[in-house]
Structure 1
């Protein structure tokens, strides 16, 4: 087990500041139906195998409220179902191996690195209790994925983390950063799906470390979107060297980007003819951004917008044909660098549409079968999720009380 590290001392001031920022920064987010994306995931090409995958799952006490139906566990099982078992390793395919790790106040390897066929019962055994030691979960997965008997690691190994918050207590953030950076040094891609924790509320060192590993920092509106996050991770590839091409995005998710010379600043989405879309790009750091919507198939620009005084650029577009929509993010100052986020909204639901009769979807491209429109073609919006981590509930309560008191007075 990986326990809270001893010998470190810090107050809760960072947690309080982060919680206040999370409440103050709440705003309307584009929402999609938070159902499982089993159809979408089923249509993603499983690849040829040969991967080592770590599934790291938050089992802290806040999950009782934030994911009461254990939808993150269903998403983890969907991911596991896309891995190639030894029995399915035929026709030029190589079997994958997987390890399952849970973390709360401690981290524990529930399923040692082995055939995916035996991992489901370990995922089902996860219950919610305790604090949040994210770095311990990542570190435990790293140890298991790189043990002497595991074979080669570089560019064939990935870790996917499903969590609802930030490290609690806050001094554990350092361990999380170090664990992700260690993964990058080992050639391991790390992707995080954060329930309701936007990159603007996260420690920027964690966000940067995740992106530099080749993975994605993705914010989920609801627990049901965990399966949508898994679909995104599969489209981008679970393992591999840090990418130089576009990052696949899906409606309803918010994905962080890093404006630099070493990270991709282009995002892609396979849009259906007649699909109404909106794109929100938010500058997290103090940088002036230009956002361009482009037909990725013909390299033709549709629309361009710049971030306003609040650091937000917003564009709307309705596609006339099925195409690879490209979202290019650049800076006015070519030497500028910093973090930003991209959120895609759509009139269609990517999870519940009926797939076409075409063959399975390629990976790691962003193309997938066009979904069927929902009953309404109006973009659906909803309030930003109020799901907070274990240390944030009290702050949220006091903040809401202050707002009510202010109105009454």
Structure 2
């Protein structure tokens, strides 16, 4: 379990005051304001034929960290983006999904089947008990690897708020992720309160080796974005070597090995002011470089600060287009984990007032998806207070709390 004082808990309280909460129920709950339809309307699944395991944390800490069932809404949102048997067009093959809940034990709530029947099952998930993430992954893996499954079309998506409790279970969770990787199955994690700097590095590394994403949300709206991040990266398939697409308001983990280069992509709109924060998790010095996609000319670069472990890049886009963020070892070599986060003056979850001049997708994505950003102008930076991290930590406050406060003001 994880400490209840987090950005998610704070925002859940705010949602309660504004009447946007949903009581636990066995009936189907609406997705309300966290669907981010302008963003998801541009993510188009083209092939289908995927088998996805959605693994949901039901431990007791969720009563405090997720009282408004944000993880359940995220799970339903993901399932809603899969192709049901009655929704195939143009030669598509229907997707299949299995729903697994876990606390100190795991249970398959919805055996592998049509996505359209799983929504009400998700709504009925309660919160109590301990946390054994590996048990949930193993249960999903067993369900997904039944006869006839194709590993390259199979993936697991985990929604949780913390780490294994007791910590002795961590090694079992790592084993479960590695077993999925050996079977050619991606494992992606979406965290509601624990970011990569607080997670056991072995778990983060195992997730990234499988080709999955390790993403942390800061606000209620970002719950939808973490699902979008997983879809953009691709839920299934072997690890790819291309750029990982980024969305504002999310923190995404990366893994550097010796002299290798990690690249991330960001689609910016004309006149958008954005910043990129790269944080070293392990004791490694990093260089972050911003370029226009497809060009070698450096726009700006920074090396991680020795005290805070942070490198900050800032830029205002003069035109709509793609940018590449390169993270490399400073000094020529090094290895370790890091996290990258975008802060932006625009919000991709709001309808655009700025038409895309090209009319074409401008962000490279994962398997089976395309994406065209449609943000609208705003004076609020999404999670844009990251450079204050060192001072905030000295004050005893978490990043998720700070980002939530800045999102509200």
Q: TM-score, normalised by structure 1?
A: 0.81
Contact 2:43/2:371 (<8 A) preserved: no
Q: Tell me what 1:49 maps to.
A: 48
* Local SS of the residue matching 2:128: coil
Partner Cα separation in structure 2 for residue 63 and residue 218 of structure 1: 18
Give the gaps of 5 or more residues in structure 1.
Answer: 1-14, 24-32, 385-394, 397-409
Distance change (3 Å), C-alpha of 1:116 and 1:263: farther
* Local SS of the residue matching 1:303: strand
Contact 1:134/1:167 (<8 A) preserved: yes
Partner Cα separation in structure 1 for residue 251 and residue 298 of structure 2: 23
Contact 1:210/1:216 (<8 A) preserved: yes
Q: Tell me what 2:350 maps to.
A: 352
Deviation of the 1:309 alpha carbon? 0.9
Distance change (3 Å), C-alpha of 1:380 and 1:157: closer
Contact 1:294/1:325 (<8 A) preserved: yes
Contact 2:252/2:340 (<8 A) preserved: yes
Deviation of the 1:380 alpha carbon? 5.6
Q: Tell me what 2:23 maps to.
A: none
Distance change (3 Å), C-alpha of 1:181 and 1:224: same
Q: Tell me what 2:112 maps to.
A: 113
* Local SS of the residue matching 2:377: coil
Contact 1:277/1:344 (<8 A) preserved: yes
Distance change (3 Å), C-alpha of 1:144 and 1:298: same
Q: Tell me what 2:338 maps to.
A: 340
Deviation of the 1:217 alpha carbon? 0.8
* Local SS of the residue matching 2:376: coil
Partner Cα separation in structure 2 for residue 263 and residue 195 of structure 1: 30
Q: Tell me what 1:306 maps to.
A: 303
Runs of 4 or more, structure 1, over 6 Å off, are 261-264, 359-362
Contact 2:288/2:326 (<8 A) preserved: yes
Partner Cα separation in structure 1 for residue 81 and residue 331 of structure 2: 42
Partner Cα separation in structure 2 for residue 179 and residue 209 of structure 1: 10
Distance change (3 Å), C-alpha of 1:50 and 1:269: same
Q: Tell me what 1:372 maps to.
A: 376
* Local SS of the residue matching 1:309: coil
Partner Cα separation in structure 2 for residue 224 and residue 100 of structure 1: 23
Partner Cα separation in structure 1 for residue 266 and residue 210 of structure 2: 22
Contact 1:41/1:78 (<8 A) preserved: no
1:213 to 200, 203, 210: 210
Partner Cα separation in structure 1 for residue 261 and residue 112 of structure 2: 31
Cα RMSD of the aligned pairs, angstroms, is: 2.8
* Local SS of the residue matching 1:113: strand
Deviation of the 1:381 alpha carbon? 4.7
Deviation of the 1:110 alpha carbon? 0.7
Q: TM-score, normalised by structure 2?
A: 0.81
* Local SS of the residue matching 2:340: strand
* Local SS of the residue matching 2:229: helix
Partner Cα separation in structure 2 for residue 42 and residue 264 of structure 1: 32
Matches within 5 A, 1:11-50: 35-50=34-49
The alignment status of 1:180 with 2:177, answered yes or no, reads: yes
Deviation of the 1:192 alpha carbon? 0.4
Deviations 1:84-107 (A, max 9, x none): 111122312111110011111211
Deviations 1:10-68 (A, max 9, x none): xxxxx9xx98xx99xxxxxxxxx994323312320112101110111111111122111
* Local SS of the residue matching 1:226: helix
